Amino acid sequence: MSVRNSFLIAFLTLVLLSAWVRTGHCFDDDKKLQQCKAGKQCRNLDLSYADLSGADLTGADLSKTNLSGAGLNDANLFGAKLSGANLTEADLSDAELSDADLTNADLTNATLDTAELTGANLRGANLFGADFSDSNLSDAIWSDGTRCGADSIGECLK
């Protein structure tokens, strides 16, 4: 086999592997992912780029879990524990996050448009570039520890 063919095979392998990881097919353990979907403990997992759209994760313990780039749109995360979670560039559009614990979570460039965050705790969270367009932040605790007002839609009104 020529050097050129070897290089081409290696390059195509990397492209396919990269696409496989980006589409959420690379998990620590599929059984653990199923437990997460069932609302059980799933701390410290690598669920980066996982497609959890519409998943019922009510009360799930996702503390310190890597959810960067994950699709969590329309997911039910009511009362979920997401403290210290990596949600960088995650899609949380239309997600239910009421009473969720997001303390010290990294939400850099996350999309949370039209998400429900009533009573959520965002104390210490990194919100750089996060999109809260039309999200309900009523009674949420903002990253600086202040409580958002009752009419906080799209931004925390103190």
C-beta of residue 112 within 8 angstroms of C-beta of residue 135: yes
The answer to whether residues 84 and 62 touch, using CB atoms and an 8 Å cutoff, is no
Helices (H), the chain: 3-22, 30-37
Whether residues 60 and 137 share a domain: the answer is yes
Residues 18 and 81 in one domain: no
What domain count does the chain have?
2
Same domain, 61 and 118: yes
Helix (H/G/I), strand (E/B), else coil: 136: strand
| 28 has a pLDDT exceeding 50 | no
- Backbone φ/ψ region at 44: left (φ over 0), alpha (ψ -120 to 50), beta: left
Angle at the Cα of 124 from the Cα atoms of 120 and 126, rounded to 5 degrees: 95
Q: What is the pLDDT of residues 112-132, one digit of tens each?
A: 999 999 999 999 999 999 999
72 and 108 inside one domain: yes
Residue 34 confidence (pLDDT) above 70: no
Range of the domain at 19: 3-28
What ranges in 65-111 are assigned the alpha helix state H? none
Q: Which amino acid is at 21?
A: V
Q: Judge if 21 and 37 occupy the same domain.
A: no
Tell me: do 16 and 33 sit in the same domain: no
pTM reported for the whole predicted model: 0.78
Residue 66, pLDDT > 50, answer yes
Report the pLDDT value the prediction gives residue 31, as an integer from 0 to 100.
Answer: 63
Higher pLDDT, 124 or 8: 124
Residues 16 and 56 in one domain: no
